[in-house]
Amino acid sequence: MGKKSLSTESYKGVRDFYPEDMFIEKYIFGKIRETVENFGYVEYGASPLEESELYRQKSGEEIVNEQTYSFKDRGDRDVTLRPEMTPTTARMVAKKRRELAFPLRWYSITNMFRYERPQRGRLREHFQLNVDLFGVEGIEAEIETITLASKILKDFGLKEENFEIQINSRKLLEKAYEPILKNKELFPVMLRLLDKKEKMGVDKFELEWKKLFKEPFEETKNYECPELKRILEILDKRGIKTKLNPYLVRGFDYYTDIVFEVFDTNPENRRSLFGGGRYDELLSLFGEENIPAVGFGMGDVTLKNTLETYDLLPQYASSVDIYLCIVEKEYTEAADTLASSLREKGLNVAVNYTYRKIGDQIKNANKEGAPYVVCVGKKEAETLRFELKELSTGKIEELSTEKIPDAIQK
Ligand code: HAM
Protein backbone atom coordinates (compact mmCIF):
# COMPACT_ATOMS: atom_id res chain seq x y z
CA MET A 1 0.00 0.00 0.00
CA GLY A 2 3.04 2.25 0.44
CA LYS A 3 1.56 4.05 3.44
CA LYS A 4 3.61 4.57 6.57
CA SER A 5 2.18 2.81 9.62
CA LEU A 6 0.74 5.06 12.32
CA SER A 7 2.75 5.53 15.46
CA THR A 8 1.46 3.84 18.61
CA GLU A 9 2.96 6.56 20.80
CA SER A 10 0.60 8.96 22.53
CA TYR A 11 0.84 12.68 21.80
CA LYS A 12 3.89 14.32 23.36
CA GLY A 13 3.58 14.93 27.09
CA VAL A 14 0.26 13.15 27.63
CA ARG A 15 -0.38 9.70 29.02
CA ASP A 16 -2.35 6.65 27.96
CA PHE A 17 -4.02 4.97 30.87
CA TYR A 18 -3.82 1.19 30.50
CA PRO A 19 -5.99 -0.70 33.02
CA GLU A 20 -3.07 -0.93 35.48
CA ASP A 21 -2.60 2.87 35.25
CA MET A 22 -6.32 3.51 35.50
CA PHE A 23 -6.42 1.32 38.59
CA ILE A 24 -3.89 3.62 40.26
CA GLU A 25 -5.73 6.78 39.11
CA LYS A 26 -8.99 5.42 40.49
CA TYR A 27 -7.29 4.50 43.74
CA ILE A 28 -5.73 7.96 44.10
CA PHE A 29 -8.82 9.98 43.28
CA GLY A 30 -11.16 7.58 45.12
CA LYS A 31 -9.21 8.13 48.32
CA ILE A 32 -9.03 11.87 47.73
CA ARG A 33 -12.80 12.08 47.17
CA GLU A 34 -13.37 10.41 50.55
CA THR A 35 -11.07 12.81 52.40
CA VAL A 36 -12.37 15.94 50.70
CA GLU A 37 -16.04 14.99 51.13
CA ASN A 38 -15.24 14.23 54.76
CA PHE A 39 -14.48 17.97 55.13
CA GLY A 40 -17.89 18.88 53.66
CA TYR A 41 -16.85 19.69 50.09
CA VAL A 42 -19.18 18.84 47.18
CA GLU A 43 -18.13 17.98 43.65
CA TYR A 44 -18.71 20.05 40.51
CA GLY A 45 -17.34 19.85 36.98
CA ALA A 46 -17.05 21.77 33.71
CA SER A 47 -15.94 21.38 30.10
CA PRO A 48 -12.22 21.77 29.32
CA LEU A 49 -13.15 24.21 26.54
CA GLU A 50 -13.30 27.84 27.58
CA GLU A 51 -13.24 31.15 25.73
CA SER A 52 -9.62 32.35 25.70
CA GLU A 53 -10.69 35.67 27.17
CA LEU A 54 -11.23 33.98 30.53
CA TYR A 55 -7.47 33.54 30.98
CA ARG A 56 -6.22 36.82 29.57
CA GLN A 57 -6.68 39.07 32.56
CA LYS A 58 -5.71 37.21 35.67
CA SER A 59 -4.05 33.87 35.18
CA GLY A 60 -0.49 35.15 34.92
CA GLU A 61 1.62 35.93 31.93
CA GLU A 62 3.59 32.74 31.49
CA ILE A 63 0.54 30.48 31.54
CA VAL A 64 -1.44 32.55 29.07
CA ASN A 65 1.26 33.53 26.61
CA GLU A 66 3.42 30.46 26.54
CA GLN A 67 1.53 27.57 27.98
CA THR A 68 -1.98 27.37 26.63
CA TYR A 69 -3.46 25.26 23.89
CA SER A 70 -5.45 27.91 22.08
CA PHE A 71 -7.15 27.86 18.70
CA LYS A 72 -9.94 29.42 16.68
CA ASP A 73 -13.09 27.37 16.35
CA ARG A 74 -15.13 27.15 13.12
CA GLY A 75 -17.23 30.07 14.33
CA ASP A 76 -14.11 32.25 14.64
CA ARG A 77 -14.15 32.19 18.47
CA ASP A 78 -10.89 32.09 20.41
CA VAL A 79 -10.92 28.90 22.43
CA THR A 80 -8.48 27.58 25.05
CA LEU A 81 -8.19 24.15 26.63
CA ARG A 82 -8.22 24.94 30.35
CA PRO A 83 -4.71 25.17 31.83
CA GLU A 84 -6.19 25.44 35.34
CA MET A 85 -9.58 25.35 37.02
CA THR A 86 -9.71 28.52 39.11
CA PRO A 87 -11.05 30.91 36.40
CA THR A 88 -13.77 28.38 35.53
CA THR A 89 -14.66 27.92 39.20
CA ALA A 90 -14.87 31.68 39.71
CA ARG A 91 -17.00 32.06 36.54
CA MET A 92 -19.42 29.38 37.76
CA VAL A 93 -19.69 30.88 41.23
CA ALA A 94 -20.20 34.37 39.79
CA LYS A 95 -22.98 33.12 37.51
CA LYS A 96 -25.05 31.67 40.36
CA ARG A 97 -23.84 33.63 43.34
CA ARG A 98 -27.37 34.60 44.39
CA GLU A 99 -28.54 31.00 44.52
CA LEU A 100 -25.47 29.56 46.22
CA ALA A 101 -25.08 29.13 49.97
CA PHE A 102 -21.90 30.52 51.53
CA PRO A 103 -19.50 29.39 52.87
CA LEU A 104 -19.37 27.37 49.68
CA ARG A 105 -17.16 24.30 49.64
CA TRP A 106 -16.50 22.98 46.15
CA TYR A 107 -14.10 20.44 44.71
CA SER A 108 -13.43 19.04 41.25
CA ILE A 109 -11.15 16.48 39.64
CA THR A 110 -10.53 17.42 36.02
CA ASN A 111 -7.82 17.39 33.36
CA MET A 112 -5.69 20.45 32.59
CA PHE A 113 -3.64 21.20 29.49
CA ARG A 114 -0.40 23.16 29.55
CA TYR A 115 2.12 23.41 26.75
CA GLU A 116 5.19 22.68 28.88
CA ARG A 117 8.45 20.93 28.23
CA PRO A 118 7.62 17.43 29.46
CA GLN A 119 9.84 16.31 32.34
CA ARG A 120 9.55 14.43 35.61
CA GLY A 121 6.52 15.82 37.42
CA ARG A 122 5.48 18.06 34.52
CA LEU A 123 3.34 16.95 31.60
CA ARG A 124 1.11 18.53 28.98
CA GLU A 125 -2.02 17.00 30.41
CA HIS A 126 -2.53 16.24 34.06
CA PHE A 127 -5.50 15.62 36.30
CA GLN A 128 -5.93 18.03 39.14
CA LEU A 129 -7.94 18.12 42.31
CA ASN A 130 -9.23 21.62 43.03
CA VAL A 131 -10.53 22.48 46.46
CA ASP A 132 -11.98 25.94 47.00
CA LEU A 133 -13.71 27.61 49.90
CA PHE A 134 -15.70 30.75 49.10
CA GLY A 135 -17.13 33.24 51.57
CA VAL A 136 -14.72 33.07 54.52
CA GLU A 137 -12.78 36.26 55.14
CA GLY A 138 -10.66 35.12 58.08
CA ILE A 139 -7.68 32.83 58.42
CA GLU A 140 -10.05 29.93 59.23
CA ALA A 141 -10.18 29.39 55.46
CA GLU A 142 -6.39 29.07 55.10
CA ILE A 143 -6.27 26.82 58.15
CA GLU A 144 -9.00 24.54 56.86
CA THR A 145 -7.57 24.19 53.35
CA ILE A 146 -4.01 23.59 54.55
CA THR A 147 -5.29 21.07 57.12
CA LEU A 148 -7.16 19.31 54.33
CA ALA A 149 -4.08 19.26 52.07
CA SER A 150 -2.05 17.69 54.85
CA LYS A 151 -4.84 15.20 55.68
CA ILE A 152 -4.98 14.05 52.05
CA LEU A 153 -1.28 13.18 52.15
CA LYS A 154 -1.52 11.50 55.55
CA ASP A 155 -4.49 9.41 54.42
CA PHE A 156 -2.21 7.94 51.75
CA GLY A 157 0.18 6.86 54.48
CA LEU A 158 2.70 9.68 54.13
CA LYS A 159 4.35 10.91 57.31
CA GLU A 160 4.85 14.48 58.45
CA GLU A 161 8.54 14.31 57.53
CA ASN A 162 7.83 13.20 53.95
CA PHE A 163 6.44 16.58 52.91
CA GLU A 164 6.91 20.25 53.63
CA ILE A 165 4.22 22.92 53.54
CA GLN A 166 5.61 26.32 52.60
CA ILE A 167 3.60 29.44 53.18
CA ASN A 168 3.91 33.16 52.52
CA SER A 169 1.87 36.34 52.26
CA ARG A 170 1.94 38.56 49.19
CA LYS A 171 0.64 41.48 51.24
CA LEU A 172 3.54 41.11 53.61
CA LEU A 173 5.94 40.96 50.68
CA GLU A 174 4.47 44.17 49.33
CA LYS A 175 4.95 45.82 52.70
CA ALA A 176 8.48 44.51 53.08
CA TYR A 177 9.56 46.00 49.76
CA GLU A 178 7.39 49.12 50.00
CA PRO A 179 10.37 51.52 49.92
CA ILE A 180 11.45 50.32 46.49
CA LEU A 181 7.99 49.78 45.02
CA LYS A 182 7.61 53.26 43.67
CA ASN A 183 4.43 52.57 41.73
CA LYS A 184 1.67 49.97 41.95
CA GLU A 185 2.46 48.36 38.61
CA LEU A 186 5.89 47.31 39.82
CA PHE A 187 4.50 44.85 42.35
CA PRO A 188 3.15 42.23 39.92
CA VAL A 189 6.40 42.52 37.97
CA MET A 190 8.33 41.92 41.19
CA LEU A 191 6.16 38.89 41.98
CA ARG A 192 6.84 37.40 38.56
CA LEU A 193 10.55 37.89 39.00
CA LEU A 194 10.51 36.33 42.48
CA ASP A 195 8.49 33.41 41.11
CA LYS A 196 11.32 32.71 38.68
CA LYS A 197 14.09 33.21 41.26
CA GLU A 198 14.88 29.52 41.70
CA LYS A 199 14.67 28.74 38.00
CA MET A 200 16.89 31.66 36.99
CA GLY A 201 19.75 31.19 39.38
CA VAL A 202 21.04 33.88 41.74
CA ASP A 203 23.21 35.85 39.31
CA LYS A 204 20.60 36.38 36.67
CA PHE A 205 17.95 37.09 39.30
CA GLU A 206 20.06 39.77 40.99
CA LEU A 207 20.83 41.34 37.64
CA GLU A 208 17.14 41.52 36.69
CA TRP A 209 16.28 42.89 40.13
CA LYS A 210 18.80 45.66 39.76
CA LYS A 211 17.47 46.52 36.32
CA LEU A 212 13.98 46.79 37.74
CA PHE A 213 14.61 48.66 41.01
CA LYS A 214 17.96 50.34 40.35
CA GLU A 215 19.26 48.90 43.60
CA PRO A 216 20.69 45.53 44.59
CA PHE A 217 18.45 42.78 45.92
CA GLU A 218 18.26 42.66 49.68
CA GLU A 219 16.82 39.92 51.82
CA THR A 220 13.63 40.85 53.63
CA LYS A 221 14.12 41.82 57.27
CA ASN A 222 11.70 41.67 60.22
CA TYR A 223 9.56 39.54 58.04
CA GLU A 224 6.54 38.79 60.13
CA CYS A 225 2.88 39.59 60.36
CA PRO A 226 0.40 38.66 63.08
CA GLU A 227 -1.97 36.95 60.65
CA LEU A 228 0.65 34.68 59.16
CA LYS A 229 2.05 33.97 62.61
CA ARG A 230 -1.41 32.93 63.85
CA ILE A 231 -1.86 30.56 60.92
CA LEU A 232 1.50 28.92 61.59
CA GLU A 233 0.78 28.67 65.32
CA ILE A 234 -2.69 27.17 65.00
CA LEU A 235 -1.54 24.65 62.42
CA ASP A 236 1.43 23.74 64.59
CA LYS A 237 -0.87 23.16 67.55
CA ARG A 238 -2.83 20.75 65.38
CA GLY A 239 0.28 18.84 64.46
CA ILE A 240 0.75 20.38 61.00
CA LYS A 241 4.20 21.79 60.41
CA THR A 242 4.47 24.70 58.01
CA LYS A 243 7.49 26.68 56.95
CA LEU A 244 7.55 30.35 56.11
CA ASN A 245 9.21 30.95 52.74
CA PRO A 246 9.42 34.72 52.23
CA TYR A 247 10.02 34.33 48.49
CA LEU A 248 7.16 32.00 47.69
CA VAL A 249 4.79 33.94 45.43
CA ARG A 250 3.14 31.45 43.00
CA GLY A 251 2.74 32.18 39.33
CA PHE A 252 -0.83 33.44 39.13
CA ASP A 253 -1.82 37.10 39.19
CA TYR A 254 -5.08 36.55 41.02
CA TYR A 255 -3.67 35.66 44.47
CA THR A 256 -4.21 38.54 46.86
CA ASP A 257 -2.53 37.48 50.10
CA ILE A 258 -1.57 34.12 51.64
CA VAL A 259 -0.07 31.61 49.21
CA PHE A 260 1.13 28.11 49.98
CA GLU A 261 2.74 25.17 48.31
CA VAL A 262 3.44 21.58 49.40
CA PHE A 263 6.66 19.78 48.47
CA ASP A 264 7.92 16.24 48.80
CA THR A 265 11.06 16.32 50.97
CA ASN A 266 12.70 13.69 48.76
CA PRO A 267 14.88 15.60 46.27
CA GLU A 268 13.94 13.11 43.56
CA ASN A 269 10.50 14.74 43.38
CA ARG A 270 11.29 18.42 43.13
CA ARG A 271 7.98 19.59 41.73
CA SER A 272 5.22 20.79 44.03
CA LEU A 273 2.41 18.48 45.08
CA PHE A 274 -0.09 21.23 45.89
CA GLY A 275 -0.30 24.94 45.26
CA GLY A 276 -2.86 27.44 46.35
CA GLY A 277 -3.77 30.59 48.19
CA ARG A 278 -6.24 33.36 48.77
CA TYR A 279 -7.82 35.15 45.82
CA ASP A 280 -10.40 37.62 47.07
CA GLU A 281 -10.88 39.65 43.92
CA LEU A 282 -11.51 37.26 41.06
CA LEU A 283 -15.29 37.59 40.93
CA SER A 284 -15.16 41.26 40.02
CA LEU A 285 -13.89 40.15 36.60
CA PHE A 286 -17.44 39.01 35.94
CA GLY A 287 -19.01 42.25 37.10
CA GLU A 288 -19.94 40.68 40.43
CA GLU A 289 -19.20 41.83 43.92
CA ASN A 290 -16.10 40.05 45.21
CA ILE A 291 -16.32 37.04 47.48
CA PRO A 292 -13.34 36.02 49.62
CA ALA A 293 -11.87 32.75 48.41
CA VAL A 294 -9.11 30.32 49.34
CA GLY A 295 -8.23 27.14 47.49
CA PHE A 296 -5.58 24.85 46.09
CA GLY A 297 -4.85 22.55 43.20
CA MET A 298 -3.13 19.17 43.47
CA GLY A 299 -1.93 17.20 40.48
CA ASP A 300 -1.90 13.45 39.92
CA VAL A 301 1.55 13.33 38.29
CA THR A 302 3.55 14.59 41.24
CA LEU A 303 1.41 12.81 43.82
CA LYS A 304 1.89 9.52 41.98
CA ASN A 305 5.66 10.05 41.87
CA THR A 306 5.68 10.69 45.60
CA LEU A 307 3.53 7.68 46.47
CA GLU A 308 5.75 5.50 44.28
CA THR A 309 8.88 6.79 45.99
CA TYR A 310 7.52 5.84 49.41
CA ASP A 311 6.06 2.56 48.11
CA LEU A 312 2.51 3.54 49.03
CA LEU A 313 0.66 2.42 45.91
CA PRO A 314 -1.47 -0.74 45.93
CA GLN A 315 -0.91 -3.80 43.72
CA TYR A 316 -3.11 -4.00 40.64
CA ALA A 317 -6.29 -6.03 41.05
CA SER A 318 -8.65 -6.52 38.11
CA SER A 319 -12.25 -5.43 38.56
CA VAL A 320 -13.27 -8.80 37.11
CA ASP A 321 -14.40 -11.14 39.93
CA ILE A 322 -14.87 -14.26 37.95
CA TYR A 323 -13.77 -15.42 34.53
CA LEU A 324 -15.81 -18.02 32.62
CA CYS A 325 -14.13 -20.36 30.15
CA ILE A 326 -16.22 -22.33 27.66
CA VAL A 327 -15.03 -25.83 26.83
CA GLU A 328 -16.91 -26.11 23.53
CA LYS A 329 -19.12 -23.79 21.54
CA GLU A 330 -22.33 -25.71 22.33
CA TYR A 331 -21.99 -24.78 26.03
CA THR A 332 -22.07 -21.06 25.33
CA GLU A 333 -25.73 -20.83 26.36
CA ALA A 334 -25.00 -22.49 29.72
CA ALA A 335 -22.05 -20.12 30.34
CA ASP A 336 -24.13 -17.06 29.44
CA THR A 337 -26.93 -18.18 31.76
CA LEU A 338 -24.43 -18.61 34.60
CA ALA A 339 -22.85 -15.24 33.80
CA SER A 340 -26.14 -13.42 33.89
CA SER A 341 -27.21 -15.00 37.23
CA LEU A 342 -23.88 -14.07 38.81
CA ARG A 343 -24.03 -10.53 37.41
CA GLU A 344 -27.47 -10.13 38.93
CA LYS A 345 -25.90 -10.99 42.28
CA GLY A 346 -23.47 -8.10 41.77
CA LEU A 347 -20.40 -10.01 40.60
CA ASN A 348 -18.31 -8.75 37.68
CA VAL A 349 -18.16 -11.58 35.18
CA ALA A 350 -16.13 -11.88 31.96
CA VAL A 351 -16.72 -14.69 29.47
CA ASN A 352 -14.09 -16.04 27.10
CA TYR A 353 -15.69 -16.73 23.69
CA THR A 354 -12.56 -17.82 21.84
CA TYR A 355 -13.17 -21.60 22.28
CA ARG A 356 -9.42 -22.09 22.50
CA LYS A 357 -7.83 -24.82 24.59
CA ILE A 358 -8.94 -24.54 28.21
CA GLY A 359 -5.33 -24.19 29.36
CA ASP A 360 -4.92 -21.12 27.16
CA GLN A 361 -8.16 -19.64 28.41
CA ILE A 362 -7.07 -20.07 32.04
CA LYS A 363 -3.73 -18.47 31.19
CA ASN A 364 -5.65 -15.47 29.90
CA ALA A 365 -7.74 -15.31 33.06
CA ASN A 366 -4.46 -15.08 34.96
CA LYS A 367 -3.12 -12.39 32.64
CA GLU A 368 -6.34 -10.46 33.11
CA GLY A 369 -5.82 -10.67 36.86
CA ALA A 370 -9.18 -12.33 37.51
CA PRO A 371 -9.15 -14.01 40.94
CA TYR A 372 -11.58 -16.87 40.10
CA VAL A 373 -12.25 -19.11 37.10
CA VAL A 374 -15.10 -21.46 36.18
CA CYS A 375 -14.97 -23.73 33.14
CA VAL A 376 -18.33 -24.56 31.57
CA GLY A 377 -18.54 -27.85 29.66
CA LYS A 378 -20.84 -30.83 29.20
CA LYS A 379 -20.93 -31.93 32.85
CA GLU A 380 -21.54 -28.41 34.17
CA ALA A 381 -24.28 -27.69 31.59
CA GLU A 382 -26.08 -30.88 32.59
CA THR A 383 -25.67 -30.87 36.38
CA LEU A 384 -25.63 -27.06 36.93
CA ARG A 385 -22.81 -27.58 39.39
CA PHE A 386 -19.58 -25.67 38.75
CA GLU A 387 -15.98 -25.95 39.86
CA LEU A 388 -14.93 -22.57 41.18
CA LYS A 389 -11.15 -22.26 41.08
CA GLU A 390 -9.24 -19.64 43.00
CA LEU A 391 -6.26 -18.84 40.79
CA SER A 392 -3.87 -17.63 43.48
CA THR A 393 -4.17 -20.80 45.61
CA GLY A 394 -5.41 -23.35 43.09
CA LYS A 395 -8.18 -24.22 45.53
CA ILE A 396 -11.28 -25.75 43.87
CA GLU A 397 -14.83 -25.90 45.22
CA GLU A 398 -17.80 -27.55 43.52
CA LEU A 399 -20.87 -25.34 43.89
CA SER A 400 -24.34 -24.60 42.55
CA THR A 401 -24.92 -21.19 40.89
CA GLU A 402 -26.56 -19.77 44.05
CA LYS A 403 -23.62 -20.74 46.26
CA ILE A 404 -20.90 -19.12 44.10
CA PRO A 405 -21.36 -15.49 45.29
CA ASP A 406 -20.89 -16.53 48.94
CA ALA A 407 -17.69 -18.41 48.12
CA ILE A 408 -16.12 -15.38 46.47
CA GLN A 409 -14.18 -13.02 48.67
CA LYS A 410 -14.70 -9.51 47.38
P1 HAM B 1 -0.72 25.26 40.10
O2 HAM B 1 0.33 25.43 41.13
O3 HAM B 1 -0.44 25.74 38.74
O4 HAM B 1 -2.04 25.93 40.70
O5 HAM B 1 -1.08 23.73 40.01
C6 HAM B 1 -1.43 22.99 41.16
C7 HAM B 1 -0.77 21.62 41.12
O8 HAM B 1 -1.07 20.96 39.88
C9 HAM B 1 0.75 21.63 41.16
O10 HAM B 1 1.21 21.69 42.47
C11 HAM B 1 1.08 20.29 40.51
O12 HAM B 1 0.85 19.22 41.42
C13 HAM B 1 -0.01 20.18 39.46
N14 HAM B 1 0.48 20.63 38.13
C15 HAM B 1 0.44 21.86 37.62
N16 HAM B 1 0.96 21.90 36.37
C17 HAM B 1 1.31 20.62 36.07
C18 HAM B 1 1.88 19.96 34.93
N19 HAM B 1 2.19 20.62 33.83
N20 HAM B 1 2.10 18.63 35.00
C21 HAM B 1 1.77 17.94 36.11
N22 HAM B 1 1.24 18.49 37.20
C23 HAM B 1 1.00 19.81 37.20
C24 HAM B 1 -3.21 26.08 40.03
O25 HAM B 1 -3.44 25.59 38.96
C26 HAM B 1 -4.24 26.90 40.79
N27 HAM B 1 -5.35 27.15 39.89
C28 HAM B 1 -4.64 26.19 42.06
C29 HAM B 1 -5.69 26.89 42.87
C30 HAM B 1 -6.95 26.47 43.11
N31 HAM B 1 -5.55 28.06 43.48
C32 HAM B 1 -6.69 28.38 44.09
N33 HAM B 1 -7.55 27.41 43.86
Task: Give 374-410 pLDDT, tens digit per residue.
Answer: 999 999 999 999 999 999 999 999 999 999 999 997 6
Fold of 19-170+233-309: BirA Bifunctional Protein; domain 2 (3.30.930)
- Of all protein residues, the one whose alpha carbon is nearest to atom 20 of ligand 1 is 122
Q: Is the CB of 114 under 6 A from ligand 1?
A: yes
Which residue ranges make up each domain of the chain? 19-170+233-309, 322-409
Taking alpha carbons only, the member of 164, 180, 169 closest to residue 224 is 169
CA distance 384 to 376: 9
> Among 108, 126, 134, 263, which residue has the most ligand 1 atoms within 8 Å of its CB, making it the best to mutate?
126
Q: Is the CB of 82 under 6 A from ligand 1?
A: no
The per-residue pLDDT for 61 is 61
86 CA to centre of ligand 1 in angstroms: 10
Mean pLDDT for each 10-residue chunk of the chain (410 residues)? 87 97 98 98 98 82 79 96 97 97 98 96 98 98 98 98 96 90 88 89 93 89 86 96 94 94 96 97 94 98 98 96 98 98 97 97 96 98 97 96 90
- Of all protein residues, the one whose alpha carbon is nearest to atom 7 of ligand 1 is 298
The per-residue pLDDT for 312 is 98
- Of all protein residues, the one whose alpha carbon is nearest to atom 29 of ligand 1 is 296
Q: Are 208 and 220 in contact (CB under 8 A)?
A: no
Q: Is the CB of 84 under 6 A from ligand 1?
A: yes
Other Cβ atoms closer than 10 A to 45? 10
> Among 112, 116, 291, which residue has the most ligand 1 atoms within 8 Å of its CB, making it the best to mutate?
112
Q: Which residues of 80-93 are buried (b: 16+ CB within 10 A; e: fewer)?
A: bbbbbbbbbbbbbb
Side chain identity at residue 38, one-letter code = N
Classify residue 136 by burial, with Cβ atoms within 10 Å: 0-12, 13-18, 19+.
buried
Question: Residue 250, SS3?
Answer: coil
Query: What strand order describes the sheet that includes 78-81?
Result: 49-51, 78-81, 69-72
Cα Rg of the chain, angstroms: 27
Q: What is the largest CA-CA distance in the chain?
A: 93
Q: Which CATH class is domain 322-409?
A: alpha beta
Using N-to-C axis directions, what is the helix angle for 19-38 and 300-309, rounded to 10°?
Answer: 100
> Among 301, 306, 307, which residue has the most ligand 1 atoms within 8 Å of its CB, making it the best to mutate?
301
One fold for both 19-170+233-309 and 322-409?
Answer: no
